[in-house]
Chains A and B, each alone.
Chain A
Amino acid sequence: MRALSTGVAILGAFLLQSALGWLLPAYARFLDPFLVVVVSCALAGGESHGMLAAAAAGWVQDAHFGGRVIGLAGLSKLLIAYGVGWAGARFQLSEAGPRSLVLAGSTLLDALVLGAFASVFDVTLSPLPFWGHLLRALANAALGVAVYRLIESRRRPR
């Protein structure tokens, strides 16, 4: 069930990213729905779940939206998922505030790790200004909180 929901989430992220690319190509890069899914899975299901989700999401993202090298996004998301899962097991991060903070921080950290790996593997990334990173972090945090609330609202008994 968890795997299925994760798959559906990844599929939704894929569809959203695709839609943004079609609808708002200039702003699509300021949102990373796959990272939102990964962080959500890590927070909800722990490190292992988060890492498996990160691997799958990263592969899908790289395969359809990434560059010539497949696996960089998955690699960075893998570390993010582990860190978030580790932190989620030790801290109370289920509320909106901490969750958004984790999402924002994860987005920044993901960009940092991705850039580092890109340089290691001699992959050139398109430069993104600092405000772009901030905007991206805020966008992901907002999306994450929104999705989380949506999920939580559907889980609550009426």
Chain B
Amino acid sequence: MIARAVETRRSRLLLGFLLLLHLVIISRQVDGGGGGSLLERVVFAALSPLQTAVAWSGRTVRDSWNRYVNLRRVQQENQILTARLRESQLLLQERSERAGEAERLRDLLELRQGLPLETLVAEVVARDGVPFYRTLSINKGKRDGVALNAPVLSATGVVGRVIRLGPQVAQVQLLLDRESGLGVRIERSRVAGVVLGQVGFADASADSPDRDASGDLIMKYVPALADVVPEDVVVTSGLDRIYPKGLMVGRVRSVSRGAGLFKEILVTPSAGFDRLEVVMVVRQTPEPEIFEEAVR
């Protein structure tokens, strides 16, 4: 009985093997019509969905991995590029700063070379500490040879004068300050007058002919019949014994008939007070005659 069962099992195994063998051999000979044997076609058709699924899974995993890697790479590149951009921006800003500084220094140097004055270059270290005054501080003081009332200039015009001295710093009163004043002259007509700052208090311009002219200077004591027109150049007259003669102060912005015998003239300063970074301090004022000759 057992031998019979073994024989049956063996015969079934043999049947399976021989069947498979025949199927394989036959299929190898049958043209599947698709460029391969029938077995290949059947196996291909049967397994192709699985293969497709495996390929899809593999592709998905690979694409996901590639996306992840690319994302990480892009993120790293982004960080690097962002850092480089910041560095470049800082560098550009620094270069721009240096270029501006160089330009300002060049202008100052040109002015310094053109003026027969002994000047000292100083950097602005503070400005407008309180709203009631228009002053700034420079990093040069008594030790550097700066004197009280020394004129302070910029490349484009007169800035003000030194009103307070320290060993290494000095405080400069701007022309804009309400207490400031200097003798000026209209360059074209040689009409003289006094320029005062009108900025300071909120009601500073209450009696001004132009209420919007709070950033301007006001030129006073100009006779009503004097020849002054807008765009006239205003220069220092040297009569105040503080500022050398012939320095650029600004341009006439408007001219109006004031109260009494004088005109009221608004002058736009040329010094660009809000952009001042480097100024020149006049250490020694030459004799008026020599200076006038040099300016001429």
Contacts and interface: CB of A to CB of B under 8 A. Distances in A.
Given A51-B14, A78-B15, A78-B19, A71 B25 contact: yes
A75 B38 contact: no
A58 to B, nearest CB: 8
Interface in A76-123: 78-79, 82, 85-86, 89, 117, 121-123
Given A46-B11, A85-B11, A89-B4, A121 B19 contact: no
Interface string B12-35: 001100110111011101100100
Q: Is the interface of A mostly helix, strand, loop or mixed?
A: helix
A72 interface: yes
Contacts of A74: 22
Nearest to B28: A71
A121 B26 contact: yes
Interface residues of B, number: 19
Contacts, number: 58
B10 interface: yes
Interface in B20-72: 21-23, 25-27, 29-30, 33, 38
B123 interface: no
Given A46-B7, A75-B19, A121-B38, A52 B14 contact: yes
B19 to A, nearest CB: 6
Contacts of A78: 15, 18-19, 22
A70 B29 contact: yes
Given A89-B4, A122-B38, A75 B15 contact: no
A69 B14 contact: no
A121 B42 CA distance: 11
B14 A123 contact: no
24 contacts: A46-B7, A46-B11, A47-B14, A48-B10, A51-B18, A55-B18, A55-B22, A58-B22, A69-B29, A71-B25, A71-B26, A71-B29, A72-B26, A75-B19, A75-B26, A78-B22, A82-B11, A86-B11, A117-B26, A121-B26, A121-B30, A122-B30, A122-B33, A123-B30
Interface of A: 46-48, 51-52, 54-55, 58, 68-72, 74-75, 78-79, 82, 85-86, 89, 117, 121-123
Interface of B: 4, 7-8, 10-11, 14-15, 18-19, 21-23, 25-27, 29-30, 33, 38
